Amino acid sequence: MKSLHTVKSSAGQKARDNGKSEAAAEKPSRTDAEKAVRTLLQWAGDDPDREGLLGTPDRVVRAFDEWFAGYSVDPVDLLKRTFEEIEGYDEMIVLRDVRFESHCEHHIAPIIGKVHIAYLPDRRVIGISKLARLVEVYAKRLQIQEKMTAQIANTLNDVLLPKGVAVVIEGQHQCMTTRGIHKPGVTMVTSRMLGAFREDQATRREFLSIIGNPTSTPAGD
């Protein structure tokens, strides 16, 4: 059986490798980024030198700093502090309705929704704020909802080694609302069940009941 240190190291390396594969080999400068925004403004048909757009390249780049801050955070390091003094508590821990804002990797259009997370502890728990921050780390990257669902669940499972993990995400994709098929009000639901949540129907039903039992739908960007 792998030691906890080995599992953590493996999970950390996996997260770092994933980040490297998603990022450019050599990051462009801020000046390069602002020039790219100017080019897009010209391509759209406007004049980047007119008064209303003079500060837009800088504002867009600063917005990107915020929207994609998750690339600079190691999700495994984020979860490294755990608590073992739990007096034998072994029931389900659920954090529901964690709002998130992300961007789809196909159109860089917003994805807005909420995440529900549950786990069955095995001797260790983690602060609930860390669960919300884990959502933020993965949401603040270019995403597809299916991948984000798996990343949150897998990272929590690899680091905490609980008896089970469950993640459900409900997201509204603006690439469907503001372009393409133009269908507002559509919600995509994805889930990832591990351990007891996959193997035990009663445990899964309890979790789904707590979060309001959203129905999974096969949809995509």
Domains and CATH numbers, the chain: 2-19+74-218 (3.30.1130.10), 22-69 (1.10.286.10)
Query: What does the alpha-carbon distance between residue 148 and residue 146 come to, in Å, rounded to a whole number?
Result: 6
Q: In this structure, how many other beta carbons lie within 10 angstroms of the beta carbon of residue 72?
A: 11
pLDDT at residue number 215:
55
Confidence at residue 90, expressed as pLDDT on a 0 to 100 scale: 86
- 129's CB contacts (< 8 A; 6+ apart) are none
* Contact yes or no for 137/70 (Cβ under 8 A): yes
Only one residue has tokens 């009941």, namely 209
Q: Would you state the pLDDT for residue 105?
A: 96
Cα–Cα distances (Å) from 179 to 42, 163, 173, 189, in that order, read 21, 42, 10, 20
Q: What does the pLDDT read at residue 2?
A: 44
Residues labelled as active-site residues: 104-107, 145, 173, 175
pLDDT tens per residue across all 221 residues of the chain: 444 444 445 555 555 555 555 555 788 999 999 999 999 999 999 999 999 999 999 999 999 999 999 999 999 999 988 888 778 888 999 999 999 999 999 999 999 999 999 999 998 899 999 999 999 999 999 999 999 999 999 999 999 999 999 999 999 999 888 888 888 889 999 999 999 999 999 999 999 999 998 854 444 44
Q: What is the pLDDT of residue 5?
A: 47
**Which amino acid is located at 207 in the chain?**
F
